[in-house]
Amino acid sequence: MKRAAVDYYRNVARWMLPHLKDRPVSIKRFPGPIGGLSFWEKDAPAFTPTWVRTVDVPRRSDGTAIHYIVVVDVKTLTWIASVGGIEIHPFLHRAPRLDEATAVVFDLDPGEEATFAQCCDVALILRHALSSLKLKAFAKVSGSKGLQVYVPLNSGATHAATEAFARIVAEELARAHPSLVVAEMAKTLRRKKVFIDWSQNADYKTTVAVYSLRATGRVSMPVTWEEVEGRERLDFATKEALVRVRKFGDLFEPVLTLKQTLMWSAPAMPALSQRRHGRRTPERSQSGRHHFVKTKAELRLEAGGIFPIRDKLEDRGTYEIIEYDDSGFDLWFSGAALQGRWRLRKSGRSWSLTPTA
């Protein structure tokens, strides 16, 4: 398997390497036979050749450095395979801008008794929802059970913004399609449903690379939306993957260059179900109370969206909508610092949040 992996990565490198450029990677390594002992290699092993490029990423626990490998050439790619590095999982950011995500990813994971066809249904619903936000999306099979949908950004978005965005979208779709979609982590809730894993957008998470081998012997491969609409199982072994990429080229190439933004001009994110949209109204719930997070850079409203507001205020809690119009919202906050009635108003490209009497 290792020799076959070396040969495969040598042949696919032309299309794969641009997607790994400047990205720290985690590697699932099998030091023995595939199916035997395996582990995640994050810190470059002591026997890593000196010509292999690494980048230091601080540990979340104590700030000490993890020396992640960065795949810059065919020589590095095939060396990884030669030591049992079968799966390659890059971050969504590039060095040295470790806080900027180049894309949003939605990992569609079928639960127990859920089918691949259901994954396709969810991917198509997700594509429709993203299109309503004027965002183009691209799909690939994971090489395991499910599908992954990428929204290229390449515009300096922070991981905090992309993770919050992905979570809001996933939760809205779960509310709109409760018999098909789940956005909560608990595996007990996923039976016969598709889990939209929004947490893959955190700055410490990696996702299997496009064109990466999997321990299953399959390849994580781009697919067209027409193929997703067919709802047939999409599996690619290495030979099939190489024939396909030589014939069609890199279907994921737009993910490298397409610039999009998560900003929108309306005061709230539109409802993300497939019903027709009239005047945009806030999502209703039984209590009308939702969660908020205020950072120094933005205000995240669970059922409203992400609003850039730069100040020193940091808080979290719940909020309720008192009233709204085309210029903004009157909100009632129940937090530690944000309490009582506040006005959220558009101000140029950003937003302002001010207390009201």
Residue pair 78/115 in contact by the 8 Å Cβ criterion: no
Q: Is residue 212 part of a domain?
A: yes
Q: What is the pLDDT of residues 4-57, one digit of tens each?
A: 999 999 999 999 999 999 999 999 998 888 878 888 999 999 899 999 999 999
Please give the residue range of the domain that contains residue 88. 2-92+205-216+236-243
Mean pLDDT on 284-301:
74
CATH of the domain at 62: 3.90.920.10
> How many domains does the chain divide into?
2
Q: What is the mean pLDDT of the chain?
A: 88
> Which of 48-57, 185-194, 259-268 reaches the highest mean pLDDT?
48-57
Q: What distance in Å separates the CA atoms of residue 175 and residue 170, rounded to the nearest whole number?
A: 9
CA-based torsion, 172, 194, 201, 136: positive or negative: negative
Residue 86 lies in a domain: yes
Element (H, E) at 160: helix 159-176
| 88, 210: one domain | yes
Asked if 211 and 82 sit in the same domain, the reply is yes
Is 209 found in the same domain as 342? no
Asked whether residue 197 is assigned to any structural domain, the reply reads: no
Distance set, CA 104 to CA 72, 188, 201, 273 (Å) = 23, 26, 6, 19
Assess if residue 107 is contained within a domain.
no
**Residue 225: pLDDT above 90?**
yes
Of the candidate ranges 51-55, 256-260, 313-317, the one whose mean pLDDT is the lowest: 313-317
Position 46 in a domain = yes
Residue 180: pLDDT band with limits 50, 70, 90: very high
Asked if the model's pLDDT at residue 277 lies above 80, the reply is no
Which pLDDT score, from 0 to 100, does residue 323 have? 67
Structure confidence at residue 1 (pLDDT):
75
- In 3D space, the residue among 175, 172, 165 whose CA is nearest the CA of residue 201 turns out to be 165
> Of 116-120, 182-186, 252-256, where does mean pLDDT reach its minimum?
182-186
Same-domain check for residues 212 and 336: no
Residues 210 and 338 in one domain: no
- The residue type found at 217 is G
Say whether both 71 and 211 belong to one domain: yes
- Model's pTM, two decimal places? 0.75
Q: Is 50 part of any domain?
A: yes
Residues 211 and 347 in one domain: no
Does any domain span residue 161? no
**Does pLDDT of 327 surpass 90?**
no
Nearest to 282, CA basis, from 263, 293, 294, 267: 267
pLDDT of residue 73: 97
Q: How confident is the model at residue 278 (pLDDT cuts 50, 70, 90)?
A: very low
Is 169 among the domain residues? Answer: no
